[in-house]
Amino acid sequence: MIAPRGTRDHCQKAPAGLLRTCVSVRKPVVCGIVAGMLTVLLPAFAAAQAYPARPIRLVVGFAPGGANDIVARILAQKLTDDLAQQVVVDNRPGADGAIAITMVAKSSAPDGYTLLLVPASFSYNTALQPDPPYQPKRDFSAVSLVAKAPFILLANPGVPIATLQELIAAAKAQPGSLAYATGGVGNLTHLAGELLKKMAGININPIPYRGTGPALTDLMGGQVPLQMAAILSTVSLVGSGKVRALGVTSAKRSQVVPAVPTIAESGVPGYEAVGWWAVMAPRSLPVEIAARLNRAIVTALAAKEVQDKFLRQGAEPEASTPAALVAHIDSESQKWARVLKEANIQLNP
């Protein structure tokens, strides 16, 4: 018997008058390589096949009750159904989300059992800090976008400004005479206002508040004439006439307030400033687990009851591939870093 090339014959001795049997065996080197590969790959494959085998934690860097928490809980409830494991929201507020982000980056295993819901500020907060404790691309694996929500530019009803064109005309006639309230220094409402100033060629002064609520109080009271605010906090006020909507910041009109024109269509073409949320995981998350989570999020966001819940909160659900999320974060980081630099915005000037 002729053994194939790369093998050797193992022949057994047989009693006289009987044929001896031969078995062709591959060289030990080849067997060793295959065995080694299996040793490395099989545990990872088995883990991915079994995922998830226990509850999953979705970390949120803000207190319960706010927009970030609401988005997380809507998503977690539906993911629990699809993954057949409890997805538990874990609120870790502080430092504008940095405490939670740093915790997940530094002390969580990339096994799919600790996830992080991040807002749009995740993409640019590192540009506000001299020595940031994390870097989005270096310390995290992308999973999927979850939702987007535009902002809305508001005016006190007593101010003689009914449209964005009238605001631009008034600001150009008396540069620096108008002010607008924001949710805080470096908040995306602040950056959205600075982007509007640059693209419209106007000068209006930002007044930072500790959140949208206090700013709205002063807007309705007449202490400040304008505000860039989250739609979530203002839909009912717009409908009641307590504030006047001049424009939304998305490229297309919002499904939440479809009668309000976009800033882009109202005289500032190309303008867009949108808040968003995404799910991230610690770096080196296995591809198979990232894909499983991504499929679950896509399925969850396609459910009508989930879409309705998001729309009632002023947000529009939108999933993505991990690669598309990486590209989105890169684009947002570059965009807002330019605005921060040109407007000289610093957390500790």
142 and 283 share one domain: yes
For residue range 195-235, list pLDDT tens digits in order: 999 999 999 999 999 888 899 999 999 999 999 998 877 88
106 and 77 share one domain: yes
140 and 154 share one domain: no
For residue 18, the model assigns a pLDDT of 36
Sequence letter at residue 48: A
Distance of alpha carbon 76 from the chain centroid: 15
26 and 91 share one domain: no
156 and 183 share one domain: yes
23 found inside a domain = yes
For residue 24, the model assigns a pLDDT of 41
Q: Given pLDDT bands bounded at 50, 70 and 90, which one contains residue 13?
A: very low
161 and 141 share one domain: no
Q: Does residue 28 carry a pLDDT above 50?
A: no
Say which CATH number the domain at 171 has: 3.40.190.10
For residue 48, the model assigns a pLDDT of 54
313 and 333 share one domain: yes
282 found inside a domain = yes
> Residue 46: phi, psi to the nearest 5?
-65, -40
**Which of 282, 288, 290 is CA-nearest to residue 324?**
290
Q: What share of the chain is helix, strand, coil (3-state, %, to 5)?
A: 45, 20, 35
Tokens of 298: 């896509």
99 found inside a domain = yes
Identify the helix (H) or strand (E) that includes residue 317: strand 316-317
Predicted model pTM: 0.83
Sequence letter at residue 35: A
For residue 235, the model assigns a pLDDT of 82
Domain final residue pick, 227, 248, 269:
248
222 and 241 share one domain: yes
Q: How many residues does the chain have?
A: 349
259 found inside a domain = no
Identify the helix (H) or strand (E) that includes residue 8: strand 7-11
228 found inside a domain = yes
CB of 339 closer than 8 Å to CB of 192 = no
Say which CATH number the domain at 336 has: 3.40.190.150
Structural domains counted in the chain: 3
106 and 25 share one domain: no
Q: Given pLDDT bands bounded at 50, 70 and 90, which one contains residue 348?
A: low
195 and 138 share one domain: no
Under DSSP, the state recorded for 261 is P
117 and 102 share one domain: yes
135 and 155 share one domain: no
- Domain holding 167, by residue range, is 150-248
CA distances for 309 relative to 105, 147, 313, angstroms: 30, 11, 7
Coil/strand/helix, residue 339: helix
